[in-house]
Homo-oligomer: A and B are copies of this chain.
């Protein structure tokens, strides 16, 4: 008997020595890269099952259902895996239009300037105080 597919696809992912895989979340409609996080095996399995992004929080050392506090859930439209099977790309719909804990659309709001500095170039959409109550 072969293992069920539901296990095999998870085995094909090349988990790192901490059992994690890097994950890029990209907004499907705009193409904007919104955030970067990590998943363990259970997080990826539950993401596929529920259709909502569930990451592994390395700082809190627990599963992190994105939006669980803020309401800024990520609906997963597509899951991609790279050529080495060690990086995941999610194509998502970002509920509320805000992925970043700073209240911005994307986490990648600092831009390098040629003078050798980082400039904040994207606006805060919603004050974090009004997001995390």
- A residues contacting B by CB (< 8 A) are 4-6, 8-9, 12, 22, 24, 26, 30-33, 35-36, 48, 78-85, 87, 89, 100-102, 104, 107-112, 115-118
Contact = CB atoms under 8 A, between A and B. Distances in A.
Contacts of A32: 31
A84 B100 CA distance: 10
B31 A82 contact: no
A101 B48 CA distance: 27
Contact of A118 (B4, B6, B12, B87): B12
Nearest to A110: B81
8 contacts: A5-B115, A9-B112, A9-B116, A24-B36, A31-B31, A81-B111, A85-B110, A85-B118
